[in-house]
Amino acid sequence: MSLIEIGTIVGDRYEITRLLGAGGMGVVYEAIVKHEPQRRRVAIKFLNPQLAVSREWRKRFEREVRMGSSLKSDHIARIRACGTEPVPDDPDRQWPWIAFDYLEGESLGQRLERGGSASFEDVAWMIEHLLRGLDVAHRAGLVHRDIKPANLFLEGGAQLRILDFGIAKELGGAMTALTNVDKIYGTRQYISPEQFANSSDVDGRADLYSAGLVAYELLTGALPDERRDPKAITEARTLAHLPPLGRTTGLAWPSEVDAWIQRMANPRRDERFRTANDALAAWLTICAMMKGREPLRVQLGAARGGARPADTVTAVRSSLPRR
The pairing of beta strand 14-22 with beta strand 26-33: antiparallel
How distant, in Å, are the alpha carbons of 241, 273, 275, 281, 308 from that of 269? 12, 8, 11, 18, 30
C-beta of residue 40 within 8 angstroms of C-beta of residue 18: no
C-beta of residue 23 within 8 angstroms of C-beta of residue 51: no
Ligand-binding site membership of 291 (annotated): no
Q: Considering 146, 225, 229, 270, which one is annotated as catalytic? A: 146
146 is known as an active-site residue: yes
End-to-end CA distance of the chain: 58
What's the CA gap between 280 and 81, in Å, rounded? Answer: 31
Cα–chain center distance at 252: 28
C-beta of residue 194 within 8 angstroms of C-beta of residue 206: yes
Active-site residues, by number, are 146
Binding residues for ATP, as ranges, are 45
